[in-house]
Amino acid sequence: MSKRTGFPREIIQKLHLRYIRLPNQVLELYDDLVYRSERVIVGKGQITSAHSVMFDGEVVLASGFQIVYFDFIGKWFTVGKIRNMQERFKFP
């Protein structure tokens, strides 16, 4: 008979992200690491920005929205998938 210790089976590893925007803005985030290989890092987190972003009259990025992102090693871009508070994807 196995005993439960109350601890999750896996310890969730954290990512430390530092976004630098010129001239002098630095944003530091700590998100969950989902997957890591030599070619890609997949993370997930929650938007904490106080500013919302609108597109075609609809809020597509706001505080509390969930995000899953794919950072391709050696590339200058990151691909993200954002969900609103009702669990709907904002972009295909």
Section 3-30 average pLDDT: 77
Asked whether the whole model's pTM tops 0.85, one would answer no
- pLDDT value at residue 87: 64
Q: How far apart are CA 58 and CA 90, in angstroms?
A: 9
Per-residue pLDDT of 21-44, as tens digits, reads 888 888 888 999 999 999 999 999
Amino acid 59: pLDDT: 86
Domain definitions of the chain by residue range: 14-83
**Contact between residue 86 and residue 64 where contact means Cβ atoms under 8 Å apart:** no
Residue 83 — very low, low, confident or very high, per pLDDT cuts 50/70/90? Answer: confident
